[in-house]
Amino acid sequence: MADYYLDTNTKRPYSWYDPITQEESSINIYRIKPTANFTAADGTEVTTNGTYGWVQEKANLDISNGAWVFDNAIVFGDAVVKDQATIHGNAIIYSTGAPGDSGTHATQVKGQVKVSDNAQVGIGCTADGTATIQDNGQLKDSSQLGGTAKIAENGIVQDDSEVKDSTIQGNAVVQDGSKVYDEATITDAARVEDACDIIGKVTLKGNSKIEDNSTIDASVGTIIISEGARVADFATIITEDQGNTVQISGNVQVNGVIQNGTTGQTYQAPKISGQVNLSGNARVTGQVVMSEQATLEDNAQAEQVDFDNLEGTLTLKGTITISENARAIGTSTYSSGSWKGNTVNGE
């Protein structure tokens, strides 16, 4: 395998703001040159007369398995590109600290990862597997990307979050220690924050927002949340059979309620499963269980909040449809009927 060297004739200063030290830093970077022609891991021919990317020191790039930095991409600080990873375009891979420091903020791009265009991988992050980061995608703040994961367009994964085998794109944001796994797609300015879990064939789009320790689990079946819908406060949306599809769209809100004076351990939160459909301005609040083909639409509301009866649950299942301004409250079970107008519990 060919080695490479830093072309000292190309030395130039590079300035960046270090969010750890909160200071402007200036380093020297150098274009890399191979000592012999070779084929990079992605199949691109690397030649001794070519012009390639920039690193701060040799510790930033290990080419023993075909990794390479192309074009005007930059790798600096305590960051390393290795294995069969390739960096292209104007991408930037960085971390605070000196190259090879391997401290707590070390950044690693490895496996068969490809980073391109204007993408960035920041402090303390790890990108592995066959993941791709492209366009203006960003992986930041000790976050992890793995498997076949993809960050594209203006997607951002930050704040100790983790994404595997899923796609974050179209101005979508995953943050605050959230986890997104197994073929989920977060797109179209959707947001996942506050330690939420998104699992399986979940599509979040259209400014939808999942927050506050909520779980969206389509390990089987499909869940689609769109058009500004909000799921919050320990709520759970889950599919239980392969053919299940939960759809939540429009200005829908599904949220739990945390008891005042607690730290979040005492709460009543909805659980939605089966083939439930929520749309319009529907609201689901507190200890409400919806399953099978239950439907809320228009301005319908389902609510059960009683901290003197933590087990008290409002259950909506079967083929029940609640629409217009109708409401379901209390701790009963309803499985059929079509409630409309201003009715309460069908009356």
How wide is the angle at C-alpha 251 spanned by C-alphas 157 and 299, nearest 5°? 155
Q: What does the pLDDT look like over 191-248, one tens digit per residue?
A: 999 999 999 999 999 999 999 999 999 999 999 999 999 999 999 999 989 989 999 9
pLDDT band at residue 306 under the 50/70/90 scheme = confident
Does any domain span residue 82? yes
168 domain residue, yes or no: no
Boundary (domain end) residue, out of 137, 152, 167? 152
Residue 157 lies in a domain: no
Q: Is the pLDDT of residue 137 over 70?
A: yes
Q: Has residue 158 been placed in a domain?
A: no
Residue 343 and residue 205 share a domain: yes
Residue 311 pairs in a beta bridge with none
202 and 88 fall within a common domain: no
Displacement of CA 291 from its chain's centroid (Å): 27
Residues 217 and 145 in one domain: no
DSSP 37: -
Residues 88 and 134 in one domain: yes
CATH number of the domain where residue 237 is located: 2.160.10
Q: Looking at the structure, tell me whether residues 198 and 287 fall in a common domain.
A: yes
86 falls within a domain: yes
Please check whether residue 344 lies inside any domain of the structure.
Answer: yes
Predicted local confidence at residue 28, as pLDDT: 97
The b-or-e profile of 236-264 (16+ CB within 10 A means b, else e) is bbbbeeeebebbbbbebbbbbbbeeeeee
pLDDT at 160: 98
Residue where a domain terminates, one of 95, 125, 152: 152
147 shares its domain with 49? yes
Q: What's the pLDDT at 304?
A: 94
Residue whose tokens read 């970077």: 29
Query: Average pLDDT in the 180-189 region?
Result: 98
Q: How many domains does the chain have?
A: 2
**Is residue 207 domain-shared with residue 137, that is, in the same domain?**
no
Q: What is the mean pLDDT of residues 146-162?
A: 99
Read off the pLDDT of residues 83-107 as tens digits, 9 standing for 90 and up. Answer: 999 999 999 999 988 887 555 568 9
pLDDT at res. 260:
67
Whether the full predicted model's pTM is greater than 0.75, yes or no, is yes
Is 113 part of a structural domain of the chain?
yes
Same domain (yes/no): 220, 107: no
Task: Please give the pLDDT value at position 261.
Answer: 55
Three-state SS at 58: helix
pLDDT reported for residue 329? 97
- Indicate whether 135 and 47 sit together in one domain: yes
**Size (the chain), residues:** 347
pLDDT of residue 20: 78
C-alpha distances (whole Å) from 60 to each of 26, 50, 64, 164, 270 are 17, 19, 13, 25, 48
Instruction: Look at residue 105 in the predicted model and tell me its pLDDT.
Output: 60
180 belongs to a structural domain: no
Distances (CA, A) of 132 to 112, 138, 158, 160, 320: 9, 11, 16, 18, 44
The range of the structural domain enclosing residue 63 comes to 1-152
What's the pLDDT score for residue 140? 97
Q: How far apart are CA 80 and CA 95, in angstroms?
A: 9
Digit-coded pLDDT (tens) for 12-66: 999 998 887 888 989 999 999 999 999 999 999 999 999 999 999 999 999 999 9
Tell me, yes or no, whether 147 and 195 share the same domain.
no
User: 297 and 194: one domain?
Assistant: yes
**Residue that wins the pLDDT comparison between 260 and 140:** 140
Sign, CA dihedral 143-148-149-154, equals positive
pLDDT average, residue stretch 143-167: 99
Domain endpoint, select from 152, 172, 201: 152
pLDDT band at 1; cut points 50, 70, 90? low
Regarding whether 214 and 297 lie in a shared domain, the answer is yes
